Amino acid sequence: MAAMVLAVRARAVAFVAGGLAMVAWLAPTPAAMLPVPVMALAGCAMARPVAARPRLLAPAIAALVGFFLMVREVLPALGLLPPIGLGGSIGLSYVLFRLIQLLVDVAEGEAPAEAPLLSLMAWLLFPPSFLAGPIGRAQDFLDDLAAPAAWPMRDAWLRHGVGVAGGLFGLVVMAAAPWWVFQQATMRVDAGAVALAGAALGFALWLWLSFAGYSRLAVSLAGLMGMRLPGNFDCPWAAENMLAVWSRWHISLSDWFRLYVFNPLLKWLLGATGATKQAHWLGALAYCGTFLLMGLWHGIGLRFALYGLLLGAAAGVNKVAQTLLARRLGKAGYAALKRGRGYGLASSVGAVGTFVLALMFLWLPAGAVTPLLFLTVPLAAIIVCAVLAVVLPAGAWLADRAGPALAARQGWLALVQLAALLGALWLGLQPPPLLYQFF
């Protein structure tokens, strides 16, 4: 038993050291290294008081959010810290998400408040998921940490090795082409709708490939360490409507906002109004509030608010339309409508196209937001939707045909991906930037 406890502590120490080493490596100044461990320690110290007195939950969360905003907005504005992001307060937002999750769960008796500080710090700073998720629950991580550690067996090396190869290939090689398209198009964004549409599509594809590759790499590296992380992507471009996009895109973050923002907000709205028969309208309002908060998490400012509000409005309209169509057509009629090829394609194009266009608020420079731009956006939206109307069905067809064959040859595919990755780097391929330039 003593040996097992020592092994657990040794793994926890290694995970904490790895996370702090990443902070030290990426932070440009000694001061920029402090916010992450300070917030992590403060949040862990709040767990037992919140578990004993759940009424402390709201002020504890408010204190964490206040600290986050101070580090993200106030101290950089005063010149006391570099801006948050790559070279700034690395990993701080995901530490905040995990701490809020921990405090809510311990207040509800779902997470162990008495967990050792070292183990909780290992969960918060776990190197594969520290920078950008996936966001796993504390109780799952602690269970894996307490399990007997063993060197990965051959099948684990093969299974997770495929994920490591595929993640690196997507992150470095596949994401490079859309990043180049995005760069070229943004230099001509004032030239008209075609350039704007090209930049929007290039950015969205780069973001998907880069983030999906990163998440797959994180899950696979964690698996080799004997730890489980939740999957983060499930073919988001195959989503049939706006709500489905967010059940397939950055799944752990979407689940976090659903559990800790949307559900409590909708419950409060229903309780405050008593309008249970109008729950779909209240749900639309809750979506707007949730996505607004998600937008402001990316940054404080009008463009981030517009990003969130556009996505929230689209999700809300989607929810209301589903309810009203089901009432008008009946379950059988609505199901028949959804099976229609034209309706399905229009829904997918509308959902993915809205997401692609909303992302413009994250990458457009402030100087480019002019009245002329807003005159160009409608035509750019038409071009984006026209491209998606061709690409989405073609991609689905190709996935149906090639997917099973590739799945049956994952080992060979991983070798090809590694060879292509090394060859591309040897030929001078410049990997695209990490996600933090925009988040």
Number of domains in the chain: 2
Q: Give every CB contact of residue 266 below 8 A, 6+ residues apart in sequence.
A: 279, 282, 283, 286
Question: Cα separation of 236 and 353, whole Å?
Answer: 12
In sequence order, the 6+-apart residues with CB closer than 8 A to the CB of 231 are: 134, 215, 219, 251
Domain contains 152: no
Q: Are residues 393 and 302 in the same domain?
A: yes
275 phi, psi to nearest 5 deg: -90, 65
In a domain, 414, yes or no: yes
- Work out the average pLDDT over 78-103: 75
Q: Are residues 241 and 169 in the same domain?
A: yes
Dihedral, CA atoms, 363, 365, 369, 374, nearest 10 degrees? -30
pTM: predicted TM-score of the whole model, two decimal places: 0.87
Report whether pLDDT(367) > 70. Answer: no
What local confidence, expressed as pLDDT, does residue 369 receive?
64
Tell me, yes or no, whether 421 and 302 share the same domain: yes
Instruction: Out of 100, 115, 146, pick the residue that ends a domain.
Output: 146
pLDDT range class, residue 384, cuts 50, 70, 90 = very high
CA distance 299 to 132: 16
Residue 424 — pLDDT band, cuts 50, 70, 90?
A: confident
Domain end residue (candidates: 146, 173, 203): 146
Q: Indicate the residue among 126, 146, 166 that finishes a domain.
A: 146
Same domain for 110 and 247? no
Whether residue 321 is contained in a domain is answered as: yes
Banded pLDDT at 87 (limits 50, 70, 90): very low
Do residues 165 and 117 both lie within one domain?
Answer: no
Kindly state whether residues 332 and 398 are assigned to the same domain.
yes
- Give the residue among 346, 275, 262 at the shortest CA–CA distance from 308: 262
pLDDT single digits (tens) 12-58:
899 999 999 988 887 777 778 888 899 999 999 999 999 989 999 99
Reduced to 3 states (helix: H, G, I; strand: E, B; else coil), residue 428 is: coil
Q: Rounded to an integer, what distance in angstroms lies between the CA atom of residue 40 and that of residue 44?
A: 6
Whether residues 172 and 122 share a domain: the answer is no
CB neighbours of 388 closer than 8 A, spacing ≥ 6? Answer: 348, 349, 352, 353, 356
- Do 162 and 118 fall into the same domain? no
Domain interval for residue 367: 157-437
Q: Do the beta carbons of residue 385 and residue 349 sit within 8 Å?
A: yes
Burial class (CB in 10 A: 0-12, 13-18, 19+), 55: exposed
What's the rounded Cα separation, in Å, for the pair 419 and 44?
44
C-alpha 131/C-alpha 134 separation (Å) is 9
Q: Is 246 exposed, middle or buried (0-12, 13-18, 19+ CB in 10 A)?
A: buried
